[in-house]
Amino acid sequence: MRIAMVTSYFYPFPSGSANRFCEVARRLSRKHEVHVYTTHCSIQGREEYLDGVQVHRYGRIEPSQSLEKGVMMPNLRFSLDTLKRMRCDMAGRRFDIVDCNITSKFLPLTSFLACRFSRVPLIQTWHEVWYTQNFRRHNPFLAPSAIMAEYTMPKLADFCVAVSNTTRERLLHLLRVPSRKVIVIPNGVNLADFRDVSATKRRRRILYVGRLESHKQVSLLVRAFKEVRNTLSDSELFIAGDGSQRRRLMKLTSDLNLTDAHFLGVIPRLDLIRMIKSSATLVLPSLLEGHGIVLLEAMAAGTPPIAVLSPGSAVKDIVKHEFNGLLARPTVKEIEKAIFTLLTNKSLYRRLRQNGSKFVERYDWDKVAAKTLELYEHVAAG
C-alpha cells in the first residue's frame, strides 16, 4: 500500500499522539510505502527518512512550544502547505489511504480536500473529544467555533479511529458519529524496551511524565507532594517533560520550599525508561486523556500508576481502581491520599504491580500496527 499519515506533531515532538503515529508508521514502512506530513522543528531536516518512513516537514512548531497557546497560525500554515504538497504528490501517483491525526481544527479540512481531489479514502484518528472542555482550552469567543469544528470534522472522514472506548462513546454521543464509522484501536507500548532496561526501585520516588500544560494539572501533584512529605519525609518528586507551565511550576515548588522536587525536562528515551522503572509510582493528574500511553508504560515498568478520574477522561479504560492502579478525584487531598496509600500498603502495591504487568501484555505497538493496517486495507477496498 501507499499510505499518507498527516499529523501536526511527530517525532521528536513529545506527545502521545505523535508517539502513536511514529510507532505505527515505522512498523508499516517495513512492507509498505509510508509518507508522513508533519511540522518542522529546528533539530530536524525538512525532508528525511526515519526508519523507512518518508517524512515531509512544513511550518514550524518547537517541541517545547505550548499546545494551548500560539499554535493556531503555525497549524494553519502547516495545513495549507501540506494540502499543496499532498495534491502535488498525488498528481503523479495517488495514495491508497490517508490517515489524519486529529491534533488541530484545520488539518481535517485540508486532508479532506486533498483526498477529495484524488478520490482517496480518508481516516481520522481521534485521541480526545474536547466538546465543552474547549472553553477551558480556548477563550470564550473561540470555544463555540472549536465545538462546531469538532462536530463537523467526523463528517469529512470515511472512517474514524478512536484510541479508547471513552473517546468512541464521546464521538457517538456528543458528535453524533454513526457507530458503523467508528472503531477502537488503542495505543500501545514497546514492551521489549522495558524488559531490556534494568533499574533499582526507589521506594519513595514519585514521578510525573508528560507535557507541562494547564489541563495536565501538575500543580495538583506538586501540592499533594507537599502533604505527602509531611508524613513521608524521605519522599521525592521527579517531573519529566516540558511545556508552557514549567516556569510557573518551578516557582510553585520554590514557594512551597520543596527541595526534593526535581524538573528533568525532556530526557532521552532509555533514561526515561530507567526513571519510570526506578520510581515507586507514576502519577497522572491530567483532567483529560484520550488514552494515556504513559500509564501503560508505567505498568510495563512494574510501577503502579495513579490517575485522576474526571468527566471525559479515558484513564478509567486503562487504570482499574485497586486492580492495576489507583484512581483519585482531582483534588490535592485525594491525590495525596492515593500516593500515601500506594507507598505504605505493601500487599496492595504487590498486587497492583502483578496485575499491571499482566494487563499491559495485551497492548503492544506491533498489535496496534497490525490492526491499523487491517483497517487501512478494508477501507481502501471500499
CATH topology for the 2-188+364-380 domain:
Rossmann fold (3.40.50)
What share of the chain in percent tops pLDDT 70?
A: 93
- Per-residue pLDDT averaged across 101-122, rounded? 89
CB atoms within 10 A of CB 195: 10
User: Which residues sit opposite 265 in a β-bridge?
Assistant: 240
Q: Which pairing describes strands 47-50 and 53-58: parallel, antiparallel, or unpaired?
A: antiparallel
pLDDT of residue 382: 81
Q: What secondary structure letter does DSSP report for 320?
A: P
Tell me whether the CATH fold assigned to 2-188+364-380 matches the one assigned to 191-362: yes
pLDDT of residue 134: 62
Tell me the pLDDT band of 375, cut-offs 50, 70 and 90.
Answer: very high
pLDDT of residue 139: 65
Grid cell, residue 315, equals 484513564
Low-confidence winner among 139-143, 158-162, 367-371 (lowest mean pLDDT) = 139-143
* Cβ atoms of residues 194 and 215 within 8 Å: no
Task: Tell me how long the chain is.
Answer: 382
E-only strand ranges, 66-223: 97-101, 122-126, 159-162, 182-184, 205-209
Residues 6+ apart with CB under 8 A from 140: none
Alpha carbon distance 5, 98 (integer Å): 6
Alpha carbon distance 264, 366 (integer Å): 30
* Cβ atoms of residues 36 and 95 within 8 Å: no
pLDDT of residue 209: 96
Report which of 199, 192, 256 is spatially closest to residue 226, judged by C-alpha positions: 256
Tell me the pLDDT band of 11, cut-offs 50, 70 and 90.
Answer: confident
If one compares 25 and 244, the residue with the highest pLDDT of the two is 25
The predicted-structure confidence for 147-197, as pLDDT tens digits, reads as follows 888 899 999 999 999 999 999 999 999 999 999 999 999 999 999 999 989
67: pLDDT strictly greater than 80: no
Alpha carbon distance 94, 380 (integer Å): 12
Tell me the pLDDT band of 280, cut-offs 50, 70 and 90.
Answer: very high
pLDDT of residue 187: 95
- Per-residue pLDDT averaged across 282-295, rounded? 92
E-only strand ranges, the chain: 2-6, 33-39, 47-50, 53-58, 97-101, 122-126, 159-162, 182-184, 205-209, 236-240, 261-265, 281-284, 305-308, 326-328
Could you tell me the pTM of the whole model?
Answer: 0.89
Residue type, 190: N
User: Which residues sit opposite 123 in a β-bridge?
Assistant: 99, 159
Alpha carbon distance 341, 252 (integer Å): 25
Alpha carbon distance 7, 13 (integer Å): 11
CA dihedral for 267, 303, 17, 96, sign (positive or negative): positive
- Per-residue pLDDT averaged across 306-326, rounded? 94
64: pLDDT strictly greater than 70: no
Tell me the pLDDT band of 63, cut-offs 50, 70 and 90.
Answer: low
Report which of 370, 379, 367, 364 is spatially closest to residue 28, judged by C-alpha positions: 370
The reply to whether omega before 154 is within 30° of 0 (cis) is no
Domain residues of the chain, as ranges? 2-188+364-380, 191-362
Scan for cell 507541562, then name that residue.
212
Q: What secondary structure letter does DSSP report for 11?
A: T
Has domain 191-362 been given CATH number 3.40.50.2000?
yes
